[in-house]
A and B are shown apart, each in its own frame.
Chain A
Amino acid sequence: MAFTFAAFCYMLSLVLCAALIFFAIWHIIAFDELRTDFKNPIDQCNPVHALVLPEYSIHSLFCIMFLCAQEWLTLGLNVPLLFYHFWRYFHCPADSSELAYDPPVVMNADTLSYCQKEAWCKLAFYLLSFFYYLYCMIYTLVSS
């Protein structure tokens, strides 16, 4: 029973992961609203943009923390998503302010379904990692 740095990391990420799950759900709702015609993409994309950067930074924070805590397995699980986020961030139109969701383009059926899929996948990933962190936290607390 020891309160190590790793345990702290897991606890923190548990809390933050809940936030990420919320973000993912929020995305799903937003795109669904777009799809069903309730919202103007301009109105919709702005708040979505506002969430993108926090989400990416929170996730990067995880990775840094796990790196410091030398939790290699957890880090390894998160690295693919990290790279995806980096790619997304740097591979977006002209100004980075726009990030990935571009109002004129987002209504394109392919883009929209891509965004929806992305949001669902992230939700799944965050949910799984939530329980994984929970397990790891207890494990690190109990072991040693």
Chain B
Amino acid sequence: MQVPSGYGLHPQSYTAPSGHYSQGPEKMTSLPLDSQCDDYYSGLYRVPTQNVVTPNTASPQPGAQQMYGSVPPAPHVVGSTLGSFQAISHPSPLPPPPSQQYHQQQSLSGYSTFAWSASGLPSTQDNLIQNHTSLATANNPTNPVADTLSCSVMQNVQPPKSSPVVSAVLSGASSTRTPAASRPVEPLASVARPSELLQQKGMQYGEYVNNQASSAPTPLSSTSDDEEEEEEDEEAGVDSSSTTSSASPMPNSYDALEGGSYPDMLSSSASSPAPDPAPAPAPAPAAPQPSKMAKPFGYGYPALQPGYQNAAAPLNSGVPPGSPAYSGFQQYAQQYPGMNQLSSSLGGLSLQSSSQPESLRPVNLTQERNILPMTPVWAPVPNLNLDLKKLNCSPDSFRCTLTNIPQTQALLNKAKLPLGLLLHPFRDLTQLPVITSNTIVRCRSCRTYINPFVSFIDQRRWKCNLCYRVNDVPEEFMYNPLTRSYGEPHKRPEVQNSTVEFIASSDYMLRPPQPAVYLFVLDVSHNAVEAGYLTILCQSLLENLDKLPGDSRTRIGFMTFDSTIHFYNLQEGLSQPQMLIVSDIDDVFLPTPDSLLVNLYESKELIKDLLNALPNMFTNTRETHSALGPALQAAFKLMSPTGGRVSVFQTQLPSLGAGLLQSREDPNQRSSTKVVQHLGPATDFYKKLALDCSGQQTAVDLFLLSSQYSDLASLACMSKYSAGCIYYYPSFHYTHNPSQAEKLQKDLKRYLTRKIGFEAVMRIRCTKGLSMHTFHGNFFVRSTDLLSLANINPDAGFAVQLSIEESLTDTSLVCFQTALLYTSSKGERRIRVHTLCLPVVSALADVYAGADVQASICLLANMAVDRSISSSLSDARDALVNAVVDSLSAYGSTVSNLQHSGLIAPSSLKLFPLYVLALLKQKAFRTGTSTRLDDRVYAMCQIKCQPLVHLMKMIHPNLYRIDRLTDEGAIHVNDRVVPQPPLQKLSAEKLTRDGAFLMDCGSVFYIWIGKSCDSNFIEDVLGYPNFASIPQKMTHLPELDTLSSERARSFITWLRDNRPLNPILHVVKDESPAKTEFFQHLIEDRTEAAFSYYEFLLHIQQQICK
């Protein structure tokens, strides 16, 4: 099969002069650079890496030790209760005939609907592999570096607390353009003292560069820029914050600012010590570190790093890492041979734990009763040498389903594992090196940004790690502002950090950076007024009006609609807002195009008036119709000159004008086990609109607050293709359903204040030989490796499937690079670059050893969503099952000397069946349980656009026992002690009547209270005298002044931190009707319609044996 153009394959298109890009229809393609600003590094940044790492590795150790130290070796015990299921011949929602399975599988993986019809033969299995691609996530060792290095500037500047800093920096920023000011940074320096020194360095560097630049123009500069630059300059008068004026040699202190909307949830304790420069890194990292460590992924390892180096083996995710002392780990590993000898199922296998990596240890799944580790599952670390490990990208931003990339497609096919990347590119980072450089150094052939994994051939040349072209090091790059030394290009920040952000020059713009523009399109039909969301929205907006990310150009507008469309003239100078009604919904026009989107600051009073008046304006409306389609068309017309963000609030099925929808759900089919229809859109209207919007750099975010079926499948298209996001609040009512109302309020706060990037494009590059073939997420794919994102927000995740086009035999490392080019809310063009490096292996065992089960499951979930829409839900379910069956049977055949008495999985994949079962029981894919169509579709949308961390919680919730929280193993975050109870498996057998359990499902928390729960707990934590007096609907924990209450609350707050969707808390009593909701998340248990975990294993085993 011919491949979509990897760069390697079509180099000509890239080597060609930049002409392509500027002329072509693609607006935002990155252009060759040639820039004019100079270097600036955020204060912390210059800390030499080693210094930073050491304190980190040291500091979290006690915590880690406590956490891990208590982990018992996984017992090889056959559950006696479970054993009884063995007799059951499967009740069969799942098992399809084998041939059928193959074919399903193929189509899941191969997107094309056509291909599968021909298949059905075992030989077609190959396709599975072709399509599945996976990347493993990487590198914990990097984290210490990333943590300390990359953050804290934002942290200091952002939160309201440090507002003086903000203003100071702002002033620095606004003076960027004035060439006269030789030291515009001064105001900043006074505030962030420690970084002053650095600033100066930056400036000196800048001057230096300038001299250099004037004498020797960069070879890369493209000739087509002049025009754009002129435009830029013209605009400069109005736009004080745009970055570019090419003449100005000014050091730019601006970077510290970016991320204006950074939520306060980030630990603010770090703010004071963080700016410390190199000499005293210890205090700074020490404070934030615990909170990092506590993060669900990727942060656990730093403490263990020394141990790993010696271990030589890639550590697997599921393995409870040993205590910091290396010996602990070794002991742990060595226990297994003994265990295995005991367990007859592993009889034939001679385990040499010394030579075999832990992640390859075969696990007999049917005999391993407690498969779920008691601590969160970390991303596996790629098996790289120590230097690369340290530099590698954080697994939070960038993960691959296979941390060891197979050398050939054939090997990948053999492993039957999906190969792909999971991305969270615009994640809120606490530390990010921002680079303002004259020249953004990129490969001349494939346009890769210089990154830590390139090799310097000599002082003056570097070899691209993606296309292997040898490039010159620009003169400017030879100077290292960190050390103020010349001739050390490899010490530059670009080469020391795998996640960096560049301030882009005008070469990276096709038009001046757009201002932040927000338009709110509100449903005010009877239904909407009844639900009462307007009050909450207007209140939130009023509160957060000043926190909306943006600069002085920020514009905002409002539209409401029922059967007509209402515009609001908010032009400065009016005494009150003017409402303009357009009733011609067949041919929508804008009554006064200029005054509907107004400057936020100039018209603030009018906006506030409007927001105060809006909730009451429609109280008596009798209009039940909703003309959403025409309203969206109007919104598109309004936004198209600038682009920006449209937030649509809708409460019912659109019933008038273009894009009207009919109810397609048959309530009787909700629990059907056979066919689930209408997962795809009913009309192309919303998709076309979204594509138009995307072309005009407008994203549409949908808030659906409906009590009945609203055809989310169709409506969601407006966000899917315009890179928007989707929020859904089923049965929303401001009084009847207070928990939803509260959730909306909190979500809105996050939504309105979080960072935002406009007119963005994301390009993903990978080493020659690999190619991307399918993307998942909300965006529009503009070319084989380029995603067009009208808006980018920090909560958006993406997935990419990869295939191996050419054998990778001549390389030992592959790299992936994502470059996200966006306009910040301050009107700067920026490029955020993440680079991930992974080893290539040629042995099948190594491929299994490097499998990242969480990334794989997320990728599979994405593929299954596509599959259920393009084919059918049952196909998707079968494909999921087949994914496990195939990979495990493929593994089984590699360890041929095993007796096939059990279901053997490598330790790295031991959670695979569990997660797949969890997926099958997830709202999106479950059958047999009553599921409303909108809920199902929403779950699918979530799967598509949530980043891995959040998605995993949705798929496999975490269960903790919280009635006996202790400080053992607790971690400290912001002076709070956060207990770390062990994870429980999701089974009713773990629920004891005398306990209380917390289930963390990502977007919702349940606290289940057992009937005979300790009354002390009920009194101290819930604030009620006994079990009977606990109300049925309880959504808050009272703030009681007891130790256990404090522990419980700090634990829950800690879990809540850093979630894009604010979880609601439900207290569920053992006997309340709400407990079914809680119990449906116990995925290891049997339900009427689905297997228990053990049955599922048996089912898989049967499939394998066939």
Name A's B-contacting residues (CB within 8 A). Answer: 34-43, 91, 93-95, 97-98, 103-104, 107-114, 116
Contact = CB atoms under 8 A, between A and B. Distances in A.
Interface in B670-685: 680-684
B786 interface: yes
**By CB atoms of chain B within 10 A, which of A95, A104, A110, A113 has the most?**
A110
B118 to A, nearest CB: 12
Nearest to B4: A109
Contact of B111 (A37, A43, A111, A116): A111
Nearest to A112: B4
Given A38-B24, A103-B780, A110 B131 contact: yes
Report, nearest first, the 3 A-B pairs whose CB atoms are least far apart. A109-B773, A109-B4, A107-B781
Given A38-B20, A104-B691, A110 B773 contact: yes
Max chain B C-beta neighbours (<10 A), residue from A40, A41, A109, A116? A109
B133 to A, nearest CB: 11
Nearest to A91: B113
Nearest to B714: A94
Given A37-B783, A111-B112, A113-B2, A98 B20 contact: no
A83 to B, nearest CB: 13
Interface in B107-124: 110-115
A66 to B, nearest CB: 27
A40 B782 contact: yes
B976 interface: no
B683 A36 contact: no
Interface string B155-185: 0000000000000000000000000000000
B420 to A, nearest CB: 13
A113 B2 CA distance: 7
Contacts of B25: 39-40, 43
B721 interface: yes
A86 B139 CA distance: 52
B3 A109 contact: yes
B207 interface: no
B715 to A, nearest CB: 13
9 contacts: A37-B26, A37-B783, A37-B786, A38-B13, A40-B695, A98-B684, A108-B111, A112-B784, A113-B3
Interface in B1-54: 1-5, 10, 13, 20, 24-26
A80 to B, nearest CB: 14
A36 B784 CA distance: 8
B783 A34 contact: yes
A113 B683 contact: no
A108 B691 contact: no
B209 interface: no
Given A37-B10, A94-B684, 8 more contacts: A35-B5, A36-B10, A40-B26, A41-B783, A97-B684, A107-B782, A110-B115, A114-B114
B510 interface: no
Given A97-B684, A116-B2, A42 B691 contact: yes
Contacts of B3: 109, 113
Contacts of B1066: none
A74 to B, nearest CB: 26
B650 interface: no
B505 interface: no
Nearest to A115: B112
A57 to B, nearest CB: 22
B832 interface: no
B773 A95 contact: no
Nearest to B10: A36
Contacts of A110: 110-112, 115, 131, 773-774
B687 interface: yes
B4 A113 contact: yes
A93 B684 contact: yes
B570 interface: no
B691 A103 contact: yes
Contacts of B775: 108
B771 interface: yes
A103 B717 CA distance: 13
A36 B5 contact: yes
Contact of B784 (A109, A114, A116): A109
Contacts of B721: 104
B772 interface: yes
Contacts of A36: 5, 10, 13
Interface size class of B (residues with CB under 8 A): 35 or more
Contact of A108 (B10, B682, B720, B773): B773
Nearest to B110: A110
B772 A109 contact: yes
A35 B7 CA distance: 11
B549 to A, nearest CB: 28
A108 B4 CA distance: 9
Given A93-B680, A108-B773, A41 B111 contact: no
B806 to A, nearest CB: 15
A127 B112 CA distance: 27
A43 B695 CA distance: 10
Contacts of A104: 687, 691, 720-721, 780-781
Contacts of A95: 683-684
Nearest to B781: A107
B783 A109 contact: no
B112 A37 contact: no
A107 B114 contact: no
Contact of A41 (B112, B683, B687, B782): B782
A2 to B, nearest CB: 44
A91 B25 CA distance: 30
Nearest to A43: B25
A91 B20 CA distance: 36
A108 B776 CA distance: 10
A41 B781 CA distance: 8
A139 B771 CA distance: 51
A61 B241 CA distance: 62
Of B3, B720, B782, the most chain A CB neighbours within 10 A belong to: B782
A97 B13 CA distance: 33
A35 B26 contact: no
B680 A37 contact: no
Interface in B743-782: 771-775, 780-782
Nearest to A107: B781
B427 to A, nearest CB: 25
A94 B680 contact: yes
Contacts of B682: 94
A104 B680 CA distance: 14
A16 to B, nearest CB: 26
Contacts of A112: 4, 784
Contacts of A38: 13, 20, 24
Nearest to B774: A108
A40 B781 CA distance: 9
Nearest to A94: B684
Nearest to B686: A94
Contact of B5 (A37, A43, A114): A37
Contacts of B26: 37, 40
Contacts of A39: 24-25
Contacts of B114: 114
Contact of B13 (A34, A37, A107): A37
Nearest to A120: B2
Contacts of A107: 781-784
Nearest to A95: B684
Contacts of B5: 35-37
Most buried by B among A41, A91, A97: A41
Contacts of A97: 684
A114 B684 contact: no
Nearest to B720: A104
A104 B694 CA distance: 11
A98 B686 CA distance: 13
A40 B773 CA distance: 17
Contact of A35 (B1, B4, B24, B695): B4
Interface string B777-819: 0001111101000000000000000010000000000000000
A41 B775 CA distance: 15
